[in-house]
């Protein structure tokens, strides 16, 4: 194997174990052999962060030339070649066609989003006039499958804003410092395409608690996000940041300070009325027989999330679909299809509440979980 392919192999291994100091050291030494001095030095610095063993530390130190200037902010590490900037551009924003009407139930939350997000977003002048602060982000939390992502999209649809869906996969990069650069790039593109909504899905993966990751790259990613959020307050009222998580307890508390994700919304599972609406939404484009009583189904689906309800409908549609594919006469979905499907679908929200209850009871700092506690009392 030549040096370059060895380097490639090591790089791939680093993606799996970015905290492995010995791997970083090997990469550094290889780079030095290849005559790529400054990259070797950066890899060596990273190795020193993770290495405890003195011999290895000395080997790493040997690759670092004494320098007076401060370490570079953005480390472009172990790069095979200079990256083409267009290659890692953030995902293109979308214009959402989803509206609040496509989200079943959640009336209170929609109203809250309307008053606290959409109106200030569209009429910042009005808010300034009365001395109310505009900006800052919104954090939505709740059990999986209950409409957080859908609501974020619908909010963008209602505001007629560009929607940037930021997932951890779209910014995580093994190159030290690259993830931060991508994150900054996403904010920059959003500012260039206003009005824009930046949506951080599963934000705990990006803005996870910094105490839990002392040395890992995630730590500086949180810092980058904090810096961007702070910059936004002065920078642009036309960019709105929404984040969603199933694990608010894993989100770095610094992200919830004023001006950052300081408005927190609990997105509960649908109650019976909401389940009725959600079922109706998912049935609107399917042929349904007269004997199907949506009210009955809504009653029988306590603890189901919106995603579970969608699942139920999909399952109910399977049998008639298969029959039709086998050459049978296409028929409508019947009550019995739903009852069969019900036997196979389990509600998924209960488990989440078991965990959430503990945090809400024992770690309700700053009233973070007040809404959740109110919900649990009901």
Ligand X SMILES: Nc1ncnc2c1ncn2[C@@H]1O[C@H](COP(=O)(O)OP(=O)(O)OP(=O)(O)O)[C@@H](O)[C@H]1O
The Cα–Cα gap between 250 and 14 comes to 25
Q: Phi then psi for 329, rounded to 5 degrees?
A: -70, 125
Whole-angstrom distance, CA of residue 264 vs CA of residue 117: 12
Our CB check for ligand X shows the closer of 188 and 271 to be 271
Residue of 83, 72, 17, 67 lying closest to 47 (CA atoms): 17
- Count of residues interacting with ligand X (CB under 6 A): 19
Closer to ligand X at the Cβ: 232 or 279? 279
Side-chain-facing half-sphere of 68: CA atoms under 13 Å: 0
Q: Which residue in the block uniquely carries the two structure tokens 């199933």?
A: 246
Of the candidates 309, 238, 314, the one whose C-alpha atom is nearest the C-alpha of residue 271 is 309
Pick 220 or 305: Cβ nearer Mg ion? 305
Using CB under 6 A, which residues numbered 301 to 320 contact ligand X? 306-307, 310
- Which helix or strand (DSSP H or E) is residue 24 part of? helix 21-33
Task: Write down the least CB distance from residue 125 to ligand X, Å.
Answer: 32
| CA-closest candidate to residue 231, choices 306, 137, 310, 368 | 137
d(CA 288, CA 133): 49
Cβ 264 to Mg ion, closest distance in Å? Answer: 16
CA pair distance 87, 108, nearest whole angstrom = 42
* Out of 106, 222, 312, 372, the residue judged to bind ligand X by CB under 6 A: 106
Residue 179 contact, options ligand X, Mg ion, none, Cβ 5-8 Å cut-off depending on partner type: none
Interaction with Mg ion in 133-152: which residues (CB under 5 A)? 148-149
Rule CB under 6 A: choose which of 29, 36, 149, 176 binds ligand X.
149
The binder of ligand X chosen from 14, 40, 51, 103 (CB under 6 A): 103
Selected binder of ligand X within 47, 51, 78, 146 (CB under 6 A): 146
Q: Rounded to the nearest whole angstrom, what is the least distance from the CB of residue 270 to ligand X in the complex?
A: 6
Residues found near ligand X in the complex (CB under 6 A) = 103-106, 144-150, 244, 246, 270, 278, 281, 306-307, 310
Interacting residues with Mg ion (CB under 5 A): 148-149
């Amino acid at each position: 194997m030549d040096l370059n392919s060895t380097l490639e192999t090591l790089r791939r291994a680093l993606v799996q174990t970015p905290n492995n100091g010995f791997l970083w050291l090997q990469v550094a030494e290889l780079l030095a052999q290849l005559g790529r001095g400054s990259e070797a030095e950066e890899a060596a610095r990273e190795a020193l962060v993770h290495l405890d063993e003195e011999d290895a530390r000395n080997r790493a130190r040997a690759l670092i030339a004494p320098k007076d200037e401060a370490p570079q902010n953005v480390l472009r590490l172990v790069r095979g070649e200079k990256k083409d900037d267009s290659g890692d551009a953030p995902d293109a924003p979308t214009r959402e066609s989803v509206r609040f009407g496509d989200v079943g139930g959640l009336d209170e939350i929609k109203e809250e989003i309307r008053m606290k997000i959409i109106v200030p977003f569209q009429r910042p002048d009005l808010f300034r006039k009365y001395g109310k602060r505009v900006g800052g982000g919104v954090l939505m939390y709740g059990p999986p499958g209950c409409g957080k992502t859908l609501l974020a999209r619908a909010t963008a649809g209602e505001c007629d804003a560009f929607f940037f869906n930021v997932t951890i996969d779209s910014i995580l990069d093994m190159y030290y410092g690259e993830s931060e650069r991508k994150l900054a790039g996403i904010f920059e593109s959003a500012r260039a395409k206003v009005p824009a909504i930046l949506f951080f899905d599963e934000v705990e993966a990006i803005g996870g608690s910094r105490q839990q990751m002392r040395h890992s790259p995630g730590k500086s990613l949180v810092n980058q996000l904090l810096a961007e959020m702070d910059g936004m307050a002065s920078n642009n009222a036309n960019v709105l940041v929404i984040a969603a998580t199933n694990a608010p307890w894993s989100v770095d508390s610094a992200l919830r300070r004023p001006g950052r994700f300081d408005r927190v919304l609990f997105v509960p599972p649908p109650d019976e009325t909401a389940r009725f609406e959600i079922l109706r939404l998912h049935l609107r484009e399917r042929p349904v027989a007269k004997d199907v009583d949506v009210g009955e189904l809504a009653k029988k689906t306590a603890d189901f999330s919106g995603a579970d309800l969608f699942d139920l409908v999909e399952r109910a549609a399977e049998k008639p679909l298969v029959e039709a594919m086998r050459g049978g006469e296409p028929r409508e979905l019947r009550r019995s299809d739903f009852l069969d499907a019900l036997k196979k679908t389990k509600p998924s929200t209960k488990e989440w509440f078991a965990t959430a209850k503990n945090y809400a009871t024992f770690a309700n700092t700053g009233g973070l979980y007040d809404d959740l506690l109110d919900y649990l009392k009901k």
